[in-house]
Structures are given as C-alpha cells and as structure tokens.
A and B are shown apart, each in its own frame.
Chain A
Amino acid sequence: MSPSEPRPGRDLAVVVLVAALVFWGVDLAVRPVAPPQHLPEVQEGMADLQASDPHVLVLGSSYGRAFWAVKDELARLTGGERHLAAVAVEHGKLSVYEWILQNRILPVLDATDASGRRQRTRLQHFVLVTEWWDSLPYGEGDPGANLPALGWTLDHFLADVARVGINQFNRNYLQKRWRRLFHDFALVQDRGFHTLIDSVRAALVGRIRPELRPEAVAARLEASTQLLEESIRGLGHAEQMRAWRSILSTMRARGVEVTIVLYPTMPAKRTQAGVATLERFHALAAGVAAEHGARLVDLSQWAPILDTDFGADCDHLTAEGDAKFARLGLAGPLAFLRNGASSERVR
C-alpha cells in the first residue's frame, strides 16, 4: 500500500456511509410522490390485543382495518370505557382466519398470570368481518401466501423450515419481515413493482399518479365487478365453510357473543349479477349464523356507504370512509358493540 493510498477500512466505511446517505436521501425525495403505506396488519392487531383486555375482538380480512376506526369511535363514545382490538388479515380466506384464531389469538386470550388466573376476562363480543371472496377456494398456484407473510411468527417459520426446508410458500414470511424491516422506505416498499417509477415520472410532468387516473380506476372497477359476478360459482367452498364453522363454534364455546359482519360492497359493483353473488353469500352466512347462534349484520349493500367512500382500489374504504363507517355503524347496526353481550345471545 502506497503512503497516499487510503486505508482500506476507512475507504470502505466512507463508501458504505455515503451509499447509505444517498439511498436515504433518494428515498426521502420520492416519499412525497409515493409515500409508503402503513396499514394495520396482524402484527399490529396482535400487539394491541396483547397490550389490552378488549371487550370486542374483531377478526377478518383487510376489511378488518376499518374496525381500527370503529375502535377509536367506540373509545370516544364510551369515554375510553370499552376497548376493541382488530386483527386484520390482508388477502382474507376463512381458513387463514381460523389458523390465526387457533394459533395466535387463543393463546393470548388464554394467557394466565403467575397465580394461574386468566389475564383477559372482559371479552364480550367476537366479530368476524368477511365477504364472499373469503369463502372461495384458493386459486391454482395460490397457496395462501398471506398466512406465512402475515400470520406466522418466527417460531412457526422455523418449525416449517425444519420440516420441509425453505420453499416458495414459507419464504413469504421472510419477504414480509424484510419489507417490515424497512417499512419507512418508499424504495423498499415498492421493490420491483415499478409503481414508484411511474409515480415519479407522473410527478415530474405534473400528471396524476398512474393508479389514480380515471382510466386505471375504471379498469379496476370493471375487473373487480367481473370477479364479483363470476365468483358466484365458487362460493361456499367446503374447506372455507368448515373453517367458518370452526371459528364460530370455537368462539361460541368461550361464551362470547358472536357476530358476522359482511363488509360493504362498492355500489358501482352491484350489478344484477353482482347482487346475485352478494345475496347468495348472504344466504350462506345466514345459514352458518343460525347454526351457531351468531348475529348476522349484512352491510354488503348498506345504503349510507357510497361510491365516493371507497378508495382508488374500488374495494376498501378511504380513511374518511372508515370514519363514516365507524360513526354510522356504531350509531346503527353495530350499536350493540357499545354494550355488553346480551345474555340471550351468549347462551
């Protein structure tokens, strides 16, 4: 090494430091254009459950996220008296909810203190938030990647790897952990989806973000309407129905009031064929609810929720839509959550 040549260790440290700063700087620059979304998932729901003794426990698909607004509204209405915990599993399916209930939620609900007494005793309501899609079978080549990604803990992952090695299914656990590790970085959240590039390009020329353009929203609406209409054929898949019954019977056996909530469907998607799917699913839900003495609250065609309450994905409510859902819901069809369980339904 010549006297003028920098020391390799120092040289490497400078390169790494500057590279990290550049990465961070670019990320800061693109965040306003494509901000990373922080949605409450299973991890947040479980953390809330572990830190509290809720009166109401909500389990469901990504629609369960709307119940985080219900949680806030409920706390406001009751002066913080009543607590709701919502575990929202992105990408849905009843069999996944069942797994999370059995493997994640029940151990927390049954946790005891040093003297052997149960730590959580206040649970009165269990709400399952679902919709027609959750009762469909998994498609070909879709093993339900949301379970390892969102539902598993490190123990579940390691146990599976010890059994079968790392594969495309359980790798979803690591991919999700990687993304969560960098959850504030727009660059990492976009990784490989390329929406960031389109968004930056759009911002540079002063255009609206590609996914928000009217033609893109219209295409999404058409595709999701078609999916709703065509899904009537696969409703009530045996495995999903078994899981559904298992969830309800498990929670009924614990002496809590069980409610099935069917989430609102965007009015624009309620074509004649679309409504047929919704009604067919309502019949399935009503049957399962009757079997298990559960309450059914069908909000799939709830009039107060309008097209404008839905986001650009034509599927989920906006933050304002969530607030409206919570406000009107707790004043109307979900008002029972403000009170204790009725003895008749718990019986």
Chain B
Amino acid sequence: MSLVEVEFAFFLPLVLILHWLLPRRAWLQNGFLLLASALFYASWHPRLLWLLFVTALLDWWVGLRLAATPRPAAEDTTPQARAARRVRLAWLLVSLGAGIGGLAFCKYAGFFVEPFADLLRTLGFVPSTGPLHVILPLGISFQMLQRLGYTVDVYYGREPACRDPLRFALFVAFFPQLTAGPISRAAQLLPQLAQARRLDFAAIRTGAGELLLGFALKAFAADTIGRMVVDPVFAAPGTFAPADHVLAMFANALQIYADFAGYSLMAIGAGRLFGIQLPENFSVPFLSRNLPEFWRRWHITLNRWLFDFIFTPLTAGHGLMRGRIRTGFLLVFVLSGVWHASASGAMTGYVLWGFLHGVGMTVQATFDEQYRGLCRRDRVWVQRRKSRGYQVAAWALTQLFFVSTLIPFRAASLGDAAAFLGGFVGTGAQRVPVHGLTQATFLGLALALPIVHHLVALDACRGLWTRITQLPAPVRGVLVGLALVALTVVVPVGASTFLYRQF
C-alpha cells in the first residue's frame, strides 16, 4: 500500500475514525496503530510481515542489552570497563550487522552474483547460479536507518533504551513513514508514543492540509511531469530535440522533488492526523544558494542521519579521519549514492551522483575557506557576497549543479546519461508529446505547482500566504472545495508510481 493508492483512501479514514474512538490510553492507541501498520505492511507482502517485527524485536533487544551494560566513563581503563566496552560494542555490531547486512543482501546481492559467477567460469568452474530474485522489503532502507539511529544513540548514551516493545515496534513500523520515511529519531518519536494523544482539531486541520498539498504534488505534479516530459525523454535520450532535453533536465528535478516532497508531506500530514509529529523532510530546497544549504533542505532526515552518524563521528572522532572534512564529504555522499542504489537499478549512476555531490561539497568548502580569507583581508568581499548579483549567481550555480547531477541519477545507465548529455547538442528532432490546449495547460500547472510551493516561502509571498490561511472558514472551504474538484479531474488515472519507494 502506498499513500497515493486508492486503498489508502479506504484505509486512512477507517483507521482514523477507529483510532479516535478508542479510549485515550497510550498503550491502546499504540497497539491499534501497530495493528494498522501491520495491515499496511501486509498489504505489500503478507508472508514477509514477520520480517518487520523480527528486525524491530532484535533492535529492541539490543537496546535492552546495551542498557543492561552501563557505559563506562571514557577515562575508566579498568578490566571491567574494557569488558563492558567490548560487550556493548558486540551488541552494537549485532544491530549494525543485522541491519546493514540484511539491507546489503536485499539490495545489492543481485549486483554481485553474476560477476562472481563469471569469475568462477573464468577459473574453470561451472556455477549453478540462476538469476537471483531477492524481494526488496517495503521501505527497508528507511526502517534500517531509523532502527540503527536508535541503537547508536543508545550505545553512546544519548538516548535511554525503550523498554516497551509495543512502543518500539510502532516507532519502527508507524505506517505513514513505513514506506519512505521521513526517518524519525528516537529522541523525537519515542517520547510522543509514550504519551496518550488527544484529539486536536488544529492539528487535524494542518494534517489534512498537508495531505491535500502532498497529494497534489505527488499525484498531479510529479506524475504529470513524469508522464508527459521526463519519462519519454529519458526513455530515448538523444532522440529528442535539444530544447526538450533541457526541459526534461529541469522537469526531472521538479518531478523528483514533487514526488518525494509530496509523499513526505502526505506522511507528515497523516501522522499529524493521529496526533504524531513526524520530522520535516524538505524545506524549499530550490531556494538554496549553496550546496551545504541545499543538503540541509533536501531529504533532511536522511542527510541529518548521514552527518550525525557517519560524518561527525568520523571527522570529529579520534581516528584517521579526524579533521578530514573533505574526505568525509566524499565518503558520506558516495555512501548516500550507494544507499540510493536500488536492487533493480544500475548502481553506478547513483554512486556517480553521490560522488559528484561529494566533490561539489569539497569544492564549496574550499571556496568558502578561500573566500573567508579574502573577507578577512578586505571587507569589500563581505559586501560583494551580500550583493544581489552574487546571490543570484550562487543560487543559479547551486541549482544548475544539482539539476544536472540528477541526469545519472535518473538515467537507466551511464550510457543513457551520456546520450542524454549528448542530446543537448544533438540533432534529435522528436518533440515532447504534449497535444492540445488541455494537455499543455496541465503540464504548465504541474510544473508551476512545485515552483509556487517554493515561492510562497519567500518573504515577499509569505504575507500573502498567511493572509490566505487566515481567511474566514467559509472562504477557505470554497478554496479547498475547488482544489478537490481540480484534483479529482486532473490526477491521472492509475498514477501510482513513486520514485523513492524503490529505495
């Protein structure tokens, strides 16, 4: 089940009504939501439901074991302290091994089986391997990061272990975030689940608005852009006119944003309907004026996880990587690329995408360092940095870099990515198949929606948006009614693809 499929239109209202009819007891609400989440997961593959709970149970158990072995003080070098450290590390490795090992097997085994079989054949053996069909469990990457975040936090003593298995299972399996995040942190979600939630109409109103806006971004904007522009051009790169390649490159970025930010917004809205606040996942990233800012605004929960659990321990720890910020960037972004690589897709495109961003971040860090030097020597450089020209150029460069790196991210192979790039200067004559005024209008609206979603965050427009949200309820009702009419008519039938589901 996905949040944009028709089954969710039956599932959500039913679960929501039953949830709020229950007595306001945390264990009862958690138990009911866990049951609903199990149904949600089982609707994907009923026979693999055990996987969700076994992995959750394992990390819950690891958390308890870590809590049972107190963390010795850093300066404590007694044999007991060393033994405790070893025990704690062993439990952490159990969690990491199960999580990362399971993910690696499900996502990447297919990449290595055939090359390994080729190697054996070269050596004269006759391997009896067929194609390896590993089912990629629903949302496995997102759940794995959420669980590992918990065990690492407990290991470092930043979070207490959760003793309630029901609460922990819901922390892992809460259905709005089950498929594709946002990746919640223990500190944020577990305390919420410890309390009974009370019906808050203001939160329901906000959540319903987020659901509606998220649905518009996902089901209308992303699917319309994909179907009309991005899919055709990426399916036959090089055969379309250069202008269409340019359009598809920018449309691709808007589609991925609308697809994932829309889905995340739906998840956040759905969570809010149950009185649970999930973390923000996108914050108008296309307004960013440098790469670090961009990555603080795009897929926020993943990047925060990568920086908190990989980058910071590596570059601020006591190991070889201490202080090596640029290498840290490269490593984190290549890892991000590997994480994005799907079982069915080509890994190299994702890894290249990650590598390019690692390089981009190191270049940015070097540039910032040099520029700070200039500023120290002459304050005029500070003024230059604040000038409109500088800001516009920085914004354009940042966005152009991001948008162009999405070409290998999206292309089926590196060859296709090269063909796409060649299409910018090629002689292809095919045009994007947009026929008639209706389709052209739809495409224009679909492209405009994610852009407008950004514009309302600008200072100049924020006041207008605030005034709209403060209009009298009947007027807002008319606007919502018209939005529902528009969505009912324009959302493509069978619009059910979700790009980020595969990760």
A14 touches B474 (CB 8 A): yes
Q: Does B484 contact A19, Cβ atoms closer than 8 Å? A: yes
> B156 an interface residue at 8 Å Cβ cutoff?
no
Which of chain A's residues 1-38 have a Cβ closer than 8 Å to chain B? 6-12, 14-23, 26-27
Q: Please, which residue of chain A has its CB at the minimum distance from the CB of B470? A: A5
Report whether A192 and B492 are in contact in the complex, using a CB–CB cutoff of 8 Å. Answer: yes
The answer to whether B42 and A171 have CB atoms under 8 Å apart is no
- Residue from A6, A9, A19, A161 in contact with B477 in the complex, judged by beta carbons closer than 8 Å: A19
Structural contact, B45 and A165, CB atoms closer than 8 A? yes
11 contacts between A and B (CB under 8 A): A7-B201, A8-B201, A15-B480, A18-B476, A18-B478, A22-B477, A161-B46, A163-B46, A171-B7, A178-B6, A191-B489
Q: Name A residues whose Cβ lies closer than 8 Å to a Cβ of B.
A: 6-12, 14-23, 26-27, 161-166, 168, 171, 174-175, 177-178, 187-188, 190-194, 196-198, 201
Contact of A18 among B9, B473, B495 (CB under 8 A): B473
Contact check, A190 vs B489: say whether CB atoms are below 8 A apart. yes
Chain B residue numbers with a CB within 8 Å of A162 are 46
B490 at interface (Cβ–Cβ under 8 A)?
A: yes
Contacting pair B491 A11 (CB below 8 A)? no
- Asked if B202 is an interface residue, CB under 8 A from chain A, the answer is yes
| Extra 15 A-B pairs, beta carbons < 8 Å, given A11-B201, A191-B489 | A7-B201, A8-B204, A11-B473, A14-B474, A19-B481, A22-B477, A26-B481, A165-B45, A166-B1, A171-B6, A187-B485, A187-B489, A192-B493, A194-B490, A196-B489
Which of B200, B474, B476, B491 contacts A191, CB < 8 Å? B491
Q: Is B205 in contact with A15, judged by CB distance below 8 angstroms?
A: yes
A165 x B42 contact (CB < 8 A): yes
B-side contacts of A19, CB under 8 Å: 477-478, 480-481, 484
Asked if residues B44 and A192 are in contact (CB atoms below 8 Å), the reply is: no
Contacts of B201 in A (CB 8 A): 7-9, 11-12
B205 touches A12 (CB 8 A): yes
Q: Which residues of A contact B46 (CB under 8 A)?
A: 161-165
Residues of A within 8 A of B43 (CB): 161, 165-166
Q: With an 8 A cutoff between CB atoms, is B482 at the interface?
A: yes
- Contact for B204 among A10, A12, A187, CB less than 8 A: A12
Residues of A within 8 A of B6 (CB): 171, 174-175, 178
Q: How long is the Cα–Cα vector from A171 to B494 in the complex, in angstroms?
A: 10
Instruction: In the A-B complex, list the 6 residue pairs whose CB atoms are closest, starting with the nearest.
Output: A18-B477, A22-B481, A8-B201, A192-B493, A19-B481, A14-B473
Contact B474 A23 (CB under 8 A): no
> Which residues of B line the A interface, CB within 8 A?
1, 5-7, 9-10, 42-46, 200-202, 204-205, 208, 438, 442, 473-474, 476-478, 480-482, 484-485, 488-496
Q: Is the interface of B mostly helix, strand, loop or mixed?
A: helix
A194 / chain B contacts, CB cutoff of 8 Å:
438, 442, 489-490
| A198 and B204 contact, CB distance less than 8 A | no
B473 and A174 form a contact (CB under 8 A): no
Residue of A nearest to B480 (CB): A19
Q: Are A14 and B493 in contact (CB under 8 A)?
A: no
* Secondary structure of the A contact surface, majority rule: helix
| Complex interface: chain B residues within 8 A of A165 (CB) | 42-46
Closest residue on chain A to residue B476 by CB atoms:
A15
CB pair A23–B1 under 8 Å, yes or no, is: no
**Complex-state Cα separation, A192 to B208, whole angstroms:** 22
Once A165-B46, A187-B485, A193-B493 are accepted as A-B contacts, the answer to whether A171 and B5 lie under 8 Å apart by CB is yes
Give bound CA distance, A21 to B480, whole Å. Answer: 11
Inter-chain contacts of A174 with B (CB < 8 A): 6-7, 10
Chain A: minimal CB distance from B179 (Å): 13
Q: How far is the CA of A165 from the CA of B41 in the complex (A)?
A: 9
How far does the Cβ of A3 sit from chain B's closest Cβ, in whole Å?
16
Min CB–CB distance B436 → chain A (angstroms): 9
Q: In the assembly, what is the distance between CA of A14 and CA of B208, in Å?
A: 14
How far is it, in angstroms, between the C-alpha of A163 and the C-alpha of B45 when the chains are bound? 8
Cβ of A60 to closest chain B Cβ, rounded Å:
26
- Name, among B202, B204, B489, B490, the residue most crowded by chain A CB atoms within 10 Å (CB to CB): B489
Within the assembled complex, what's the spacing in Å between the Cα atoms of A190 and B204? Answer: 29
Residue pair B473, A8 in contact (C-beta under 8 Å): no
Bound Cα distance from A21 to B477, whole angstroms: 9
Q: Least Cβ distance of A90 to chain B in Å?
A: 16
A337 to chain B, nearest CB (A): 39
A191 neighbours in B (Cβ, 8 Å)? 488-489, 491, 493
Contact call A198/B438, Cβ cutoff below 8 A = yes
Query: In the assembled complex, which residues on chain B have CB atoms less than 8 Å from the CB atom of A171?
Result: 5-7, 496
Q: How far is the CB of B483 from chain A (nearest CB, A)?
A: 8
Q: Considering the complex, give the chain B residue whose CB is closest to the CB of A189.
A: B488
Q: Given contacts A8-B202, A12-B205, A18-B478, are A187 and B488 in contact (CB under 8 A)?
A: yes
Query: A15 and B473: CB pair below 8 A?
Result: yes
* B481: contacting residue among A6, A10, A23, A168, CB under 8 A: A23
Q: Is the CB of A17 within 8 A of B5?
A: no
Question: How far apart sit A2 and B268, CA to CA, in the bound complex (Å)?
Answer: 27
Tell me the bound Cα distance from A177 to B496 in angstroms: 17
- Please, which residues of chain B bring their CB within 8 A of the CB of A15? 205, 473, 476-477, 480
Q: Complex: how many Å from CA A9 to CA B199? A: 10
Q: Say how far A16's CB is from chain B's closest CB, in angstroms.
A: 7
Instruction: Give complex CA distance A161, B46 in Å.
Output: 8
Complex Cα distance, B42 from A191, in Å, reads 28
Contacts of B491 in A (CB 8 A): 191-192
Q: What's the nearest-Cβ distance from chain A to residue B440, in Å? A: 12
* Alpha-carbon distance A10/B476, docked complex (angstroms): 13
- The distance in angstroms between the C-alpha atoms of A8 and B205, with both chains bound, is 8
- The residues of A that contact B200 with a CB separation of less than 8 Å are 8
Please, how many angstroms separate the alpha-carbon atoms of A193 and B493 in the complex?
Answer: 7
Q: With A161-B46, A165-B46 known to touch, is A22 a contact of B5 (CB < 8 Å)? A: no
